[in-house]
Structure 1
Amino acid sequence: MSALPSDVTWVQRARAGWLYAVGLIVDGVGFLASIVALQQLPLFLVQAFVASAVAVTAALAVPALGIKLSRKEIAAIGAIAFGLILLAISAAEGEARRVSSNFEWTLLGCGIALGLLLTIGLLDRSANRSCIVLATTSGLGFGVVALAARVLEVRDPWWSTLASPALWAIVAAGAVALVAYGFALDRGRATTVAAITSAVETIIPAGVGLIVLGDEFRSGFAPVAVVGFVVTLGACFVLAARAEVE
């Protein structure tokens, strides 16, 4: 979009960016799917799948952009698939442990507080430091979204769910995360932004899920899950380099 002449109209810009709009719609569908998945699946599994989207991006870059993947990157995609299989067979399905409303209000407070961290990152004149702060803010925001989605209870009637603090935590933290991610990409290397955001949004919610929300492994599969988690996340970092524009 930035490559277009400055005198083009917004309609022309919209037409030129239709593929970007399609991408946003697909991202939105994936986001909603992850929220639904978190109702029954542990955070360490769902967040690992979310982080592994970089593998899909790298694979699609081959036919779409004519990029040739190196052996290291092909091995990383295979490692992600292997790690996700280990996580899938080791995760115990089930709803999150019931938490008090205080936990949901805390998540909402965190989502709002992240707005302050976003402001700090935007006002920082150091591009490198600003990038790190904004990428971390984005990861924390997406992490809060995941935690809120895990504890969100769809009430009967459904419209009464609008009063849930967890729902508004998803809205607040999600908005901050998206804005922070966009500005982080504008101020730093895409590789750095992708790596920091993926690490924060995956590791922190997974830990909280295991400690606070009662996420569990299948009996005897804890070591398998740990190996799968480490392999998946490590391979994602390798593929994050594909986000860098040459």
Structure 2
Amino acid sequence: MSVPVAWVAAVVGMLCYGAASVIQAVAARRATGARVVVQPGYLVGMGLDLLAWVSSVVAMQALPLFTVQAVLAGSLAVTVLLARLFLGARLLRRDVVAVVATVIALVVVGAASGTEAAVRPSILFDEVLLVGLVGVGIAVAVLYRRHHPAVMAVLAGLGFSGAAVGARGLPLDHGLVGLLGSWTLWLVLGFGAIGMLAYARALEQGSVGPATALLWVVEIIVPGVIGWYWLGDTVRPGWAWPAVLAILVATVACGVLAFSPAQPEQAPAESEPGQ
């Protein structure tokens, strides 16, 4: 997997996630309740979500996790811009600034990425993932009914973070049989399911803006730290502080965009932004 191809995959994932949110929001305006899921637009949005996730998995094979997650978080900027064009949503001056800041931050993150391809995980990878999956699953089960939506959004972020970390260990070069026989795949799917459940619960109890902002903050920071500390992700010499600053800027911009009036509030709970 070449680095340029991985970059293309990351950008495709960002665009697909952003477009999916708007398409699903449009579908949610044309139906209510369970009928939303049979709307053609909603199904297209789900297909884009799936394509985005596959693209992110491809990107993670050759790029640091902090790079891929920061790029995917840029989908909020895509959503805000498309919502302005197709939903007639208001775009405030602060939103424009946040979009520009996101683009600049992602350019810096890309420039700071190490020149070496991402390495394969070490031994005990699946065992550590399993412990994390059980821990997050227990936390969601215990806190599901009685806790603040912010807590569920953080747990959703941890679930999707586990899926992102696990994606680095998928044996994509072993063919379909090897992939289906890998414990890593099922751990990734487990993390994804827990993330979707917790995110849906956060949206049931609170607003999509704060929930999405918290989710992306967790999804940027947690996989980035794990990738750097455990999986051998690198930063170009002299670019450590610019990378940290750019990630902080992208995180703050995500928070601003998540509260934007152009962020479609009509998107159903099943439309999750993380993988």
Q: TM-score range by the shorter chain?
A: 0.7 to 0.9
Residue 99 in structure 1 maps to residue 85 in structure 2:
no
- Greater Cα radius of gyration, structure 1 or 2: 1
Q: Which moved more, 1:62-71 or 1:80-89?
A: 62-71
Show the counterpart of 2:188: 170
Residue 50 in structure 1 maps to residue 72 in structure 2:
yes
Q: Which moved more, 1:110-119 or 1:175-184?
A: 110-119
Q: Spell out, residue by residue over 1:112-141, the C-alpha distance to the aligned partner (whole angstroms, 9 max, x if none).
A: 4322222223221xxxx3412321111001
Q: Which moved more, 1:190-199 or 1:235-244?
A: 235-244
Q: Aligned with 1:156: secondary structure?
A: helix
Residue 87 in structure 1 maps to residue 104 in structure 2:
no
Show the counterpart of 1:70: 92
Cα-Cα RMSD: 2.3
How big is the shift at 1:111? 2.0
How big is the shift at 1:155? 4.7
Q: Percent identity?
A: 32
Q: Aligned with 1:152: secondary structure?
A: coil
- Output the CA distance in 2 between the equivalents of 1:69 and 1:110: 39
Contact 1:108 1:165 in 2 (8 A): no
Show the counterpart of 1:36: 58
- Output the CA distance in 1 between the equivalents of 2:264 and 2:164: 26
TM-score normalised by length of structure 2: 0.79
Structure 2: tracts of 5 or more residues without a match: 1-27, 267-275
- Output the CA distance in 2 between the equivalents of 1:3 and 1:36: 34
State the one-letter code of the partner of 1:117.
A
Show the counterpart of 1:210: 228
Show the counterpart of 2:273: none
Structure 1: tracts of 5 or more residues without a match: none
Residue 181 in structure 1 maps to residue 205 in structure 2:
no
1:123 to 145, 164, 170: 145
Q: Spell out, residue by residue over 1:194-215, the C-alpha distance to the aligned partner (whole angstroms, 9 max, x if none).
A: 1111111110110111111110
2:172 to 145, 151, 154: 154
Distance 1:5 1:232, change over 3 A: closer
How big is the shift at 1:50? 1.4
- Output the CA distance in 2 between the equivalents of 1:88 and 1:136: 26
Show the counterpart of 2:15: none
Contact 1:189 1:244 in 2 (8 A): no
Q: Aligned with 1:49: secondary structure?
A: helix
- Number of residue-to-residue matches in the alignment: 236
How big is the shift at 1:182? 1.3
- Output the CA distance in 2 between the equivalents of 1:239 and 1:108: 34
Contact 2:171 2:178 in 1 (8 A): no
Q: Aligned with 1:118: secondary structure?
A: helix
How big is the shift at 1:18? 2.2
Distance 1:13 1:79, change over 3 A: closer
Contact 1:84 1:228 in 2 (8 A): yes
- Output the CA distance in 1 between the equivalents of 2:135 and 2:102: 33
- Output the CA distance in 2 between the equivalents of 1:37 and 1:99: 19
